């Protein structure tokens, strides 16, 4: 059976890559797009499927099974809610949803008994990097996360770095790192503070998505590092999520929970 999919953000870097992946896979079928610039048109460089500006209108008119969002946080959140309300199962790659938005979507998803997957990182290697970091944090409470992304990224720190810190919080003994009397002579020099762990965000052209989790202990350091060199690295995870969301009846946050 083909899984019928609507994609939001088809002109974006991730959206365009996701559409190519859907075309390659025999069991997946693109049936519509949501794009703020091409209402009702079949635009050049976009697939030959109906394009809607309005998500609700799209979901009402198109019989889709799943919806993939690769846009920006505020819009992605509204799209996700609209999809669930129309009984369509969302797979969300858009990063930057707030905790409140995620819990609201989680409640809606459970009420509707509909699967919804939100994953700040669809690269399987990145998910393993997070899992290994969670293991290491039990033994190394001193840890900094250095995440590096292209300079068009809107949110900082990245969703993946926050997710990594959340996972490490489950195993790490709470500790304020660094010297108790340390002073930042330039604000931000020590990075963002997440439960005593530091997150540093680098934004530069040429980068895609990279993260290093650096642990320090007496006489040793441990570095766990993952690099996405292009957006193809996320597609295997998106495909898996599209297939798995069909079997779920609630919201799952993080790809590690469906691997
Ligand atoms: P991008 O190239 O900037 O694409 C974003 C797309 O969203 C564009 O098509 C853009 O259209 C559209 N958009 C922006 N504002 C909109 C609005 N108000 N209404 C409707 N559409 C709007 O970005 P990207 O690199 O593809 O990334 C897209 C999202 O995926 C980001 O949130 C990023 O953090 C996330 N991401 C997730 C993963 C993961 O593994 N989960 C990996 C990489 C990226 P315009 O051209 O008209 O602005």
156-166 confidence digits (pLDDT tens): 999 899 999 99
- Which residues pair with residue 252 across a beta bridge? 117
pLDDT at 120: 87
| Residue 184 DSSP class | -
Token pair belonging to 238: 């998106």
Tokens 């690769």, residue located: 70
Active site residue 149: yes
Does residue 37 have a pLDDT over 90? Answer: no
d(CA 228, CA 233): 6
Q: What's the CATH superfamily of 3-118+232-257?
A: NAD(P)-binding Rossmann-like Domain (3.40.50.720)
Q: Per-residue pLDDT for 224 more than 90?
A: yes
From the candidates 79, 81, 134, 149, give the one annotated as an active-site residue: 149
Residue 75 to residues 25, 26, 62, 80, 97, Cα–Cα distance (Å): 27, 30, 19, 9, 10
What average pLDDT does range 203-208 have in this prediction?
96
pLDDT score of 234: 95
Among candidates 112, 104, 93, 113, which has minimal Cα distance to 233? 93
For ligand 1, the distance from its centroid to the CA atom of residue 154, given in whole angstroms, is 9
d(CA 131, CA 138): 12
Task: Confirm whether 134 is a catalytic residue.
Answer: no
Out of 9, 149, 208, 234, give the residue to mutate to test ligand 1, the one with the largest number of ligand atoms within 8 Å of its CB. Answer: 9
Pick the residue whose CA is nearest to atom 31 on ligand 1.
Answer: 94
Q: Is the domain 124-228 a CATH 3.10.129.10 member?
A: no
Percent of the chain at pLDDT exceeding 90 = 92
The model carries a pTM of 0.86
| CA 231/CA 219 separation, integer angstroms | 37
Ligand 1, atom 19, residue with closest C-alpha: 36
Ligand 1 center–CA 227 separation, angstroms: 20
Domains 3-118+232-257 and 124-228 share a fold: no
pLDDT of 24 > 70? The answer is yes
- Domain locations in the chain? 3-118+232-257, 124-228
Q: Is 121 in the pocket of ligand 1 (CB under 6 A)?
A: yes
Tokens of 235: 């597609």
Q: What is the mean pLDDT of the chain?
A: 94
Asked whether 120 lines ligand 1 (CB < 6 A), one says yes
Gap between the terminal Cα atoms of the chain:
22
Longest CA pairwise span in the chain (Å):
63
Q: What is the pLDDT of residues 183-195, one digit of tens each?
A: 999 999 999 999 9
């Amino acid at each position: 059976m083909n899984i019928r999919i609507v994609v939001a953000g088809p002109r974006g870097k991730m959206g365009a890559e996701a559409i190519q992946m859907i075309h390659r896979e025999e069991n997946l079928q693109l049936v519509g797009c949501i794009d703020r610039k091409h209402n009702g048109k079949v635009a050049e460089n976009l697939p030959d499927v109906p394009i809607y500006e309005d998500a609700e209108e799209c979901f009402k008119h198109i019989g889709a099974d799943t919806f993939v969002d690769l846009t920006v946080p505020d819009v992605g959140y509204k799209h996700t809610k609209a999809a669930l309300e129309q009984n369509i199962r969302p797979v969300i790659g858009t990063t930057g949803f707030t905790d409140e938005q995620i819990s609201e979507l989680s409640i809606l998803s459970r009420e509707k008994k509909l699967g919804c997957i939100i994953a700040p990182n669809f690269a399987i290697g990145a998910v393993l990097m997070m899992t290994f970091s969670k293991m290491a944090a039990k033994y190394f409470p001193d840890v900094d996360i250095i995440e590096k992304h292209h300079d068009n990224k809107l949110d900082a720190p990245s969703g993946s770095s926050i997710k990594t810190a959340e996972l490490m919080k489950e195993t790490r003994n709470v500790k304020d790192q660094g010297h108790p009397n340390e002073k930042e002579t330039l604000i931000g020099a020590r990075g963002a503070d997440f439960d005593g762990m530091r997150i540093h965000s680098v934004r530069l052209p040429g980068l895609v998505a990279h993260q290093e989790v650096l642990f320090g202990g007496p006489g040793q350091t441990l570095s766990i590092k993952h690099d996405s060199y292009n957006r193809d690295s996320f597609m295997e995870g998106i495909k898996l999520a599209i297939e798995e969301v069909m079997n779920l009846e609630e919201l799952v946050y993080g790809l590690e929970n469906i691997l």
